[in-house]
Structure 1
Amino acid sequence: METRTLALVVAGRAVPTPCDVAGQGPETLLLPALSTISSRAEMRGLAAALSDHRCLIPDWPGFGAHPRARLLLTPETLHAFLDALLAAAPGPYALGIAAGHGAGYLAAAARRHPDAFRALVLVAPTWRGPLPTAMGPERRSLFTAIRRAVEAPLIGDALYALNIRPRVIGRMLRAHVYADPGHVTAALVADKHAVTRQPGARFGTAAFVTGGLDPVATRAAFLDLFGDGLPPVLVLRPERAPRRSGAEMDALIAAGRVSHSQVSGRPVPGALSPHEEYPDAVAAAIRAA
């Protein structure tokens, strides 16, 4: 595996983007999830399991195990990021694979760039951030206030530090990220803690957790992303996804909104990060589709 940096310009700002490149064969784009502990490293096991593909794995702007450039983190910024990425590394890609919140952004990019992907794979797709999922969208003003507090100088650092202690990260991983608590080792927690301690990390976390990076505002809008004009779409639904997130995945599989392409679902082991916890099973599900 090699690492290279793409010199992208997003919303008028230079955004140097580290990418892992691994394997040989058909071009494949792997997009990590968005989360407090998100980095391209979470996709390396899946890339190894897909070694007969040439996999490109970028970090999202505002996320990753490296210092993050400060830029306005909004859905529009992430859409612009994928446009810049596809201009710099156009493929075409045999597969576009996205985890978690990356799913909606990948689907929208595939619609804007109809020749970029032959097929899409969505791994545990989500569209709603943790606080809106837990508390409901009617508290959006509270979420905005929380985001502003975490982004603020001094107090923001203190609030963020309280929520990224190793004990908190381990509890989060066991609660809904990994299915098997035995897989949440001290080494894994240490690696995830290192991701959260990167300079500028609190801004991506504040945006994601409060719903500021949700690509859409409603389930109906999420399902509408998968109308006509997309390549075939495979949804990998983890067997132990949290109840609310799993319901959104089931709704996508059951929607039947695509007429000129195909949306299908396939179960895989795991919770919200099956691509990291069970990469061989995820790769097998992709090959079997």
Structure 2
Amino acid sequence: MGFLTPIKANKAYRLQQKGQKAEARKLYEEAFAEGLNDPRYNLAYALMIIREGEYQKAKEFLVKHQKAPGMTPSQRVTLLVDYAACCFRLGDVDKGINTLEQQFQKGETGLLYQTLGYLYVEKYDAANRPDFDQVTEPAAEPEEAAGEEKAEETVSPREAWEAGQKKAEEFIRKSLEYDDEDPICLDNMGQFAYRVLEDKAGAKEWFDKAYALKDSQIDTLYFLSRYDEEAGDREGALEKLEKAAGGRFSPLNYCNRETILKEIERLKGAN
């Protein structure tokens, strides 16, 4: 690594902060090619390409730099959260969940509660629930010979799903014991009720609490707009959706900007 490499990386970081992403990216990649391996810049670059939707590239980059020298515990958690988000967006939510569950065993943090809670909602969304009547049960294993230890009972797919859903709910509720004023965890609880339990009435309480603490959360605004529309308040729904459209989207948002804009267009056309 050359003497000027860290200077180049710092310039890239400052450009990124100003929104000059193309210039920042060019300098970052030059610095990495020269041997830069600094957690601060690694994470900043990874976040930038994640926001560009380059999940596979970001995932590979994070794996390559997971043992960067000088990484703090907080930076380690951020790296794993970003990695889990990439796994989720690449279609492997279980890998993301397993990664964060392992890290959570080492210590609880607000970021882990926020992210793992959301991934649980994604996994157990009612739309993902299998049709258990069509699921083929695994064939029973032959009974073991006398005197041998009996194998554990096989858990059915339905039982596994329900146990996982219960575990997810307990985790999200625990996140609110950890911090009952965390708007992301409150939103997770709302989404769990709305999307997993299909309890729209119960979910609104949580969305309202999240909104009272932070009125700019994209997903909270989206779900509250659903209640406005159902109540016949199209103006209220549009106001929330337009505010959401101006937010900064992440891979851990339920809605992307295109979905929000389509909803705005639909509601305006219905007036």
**TM-score exceeds 0.5:** no
Normalising by the residue count of structure 1, what TM-score does the alignment of the two structures yield? 0.27
Instruction: Give 1 or 2 for the bigger CA radius of gyration.
Output: 2
Normalising by the residue count of structure 2, what TM-score does the alignment of the two structures yield? 0.28
Q: Which has the higher helix share?
A: 2
Q: Which has the higher strand share?
A: 1
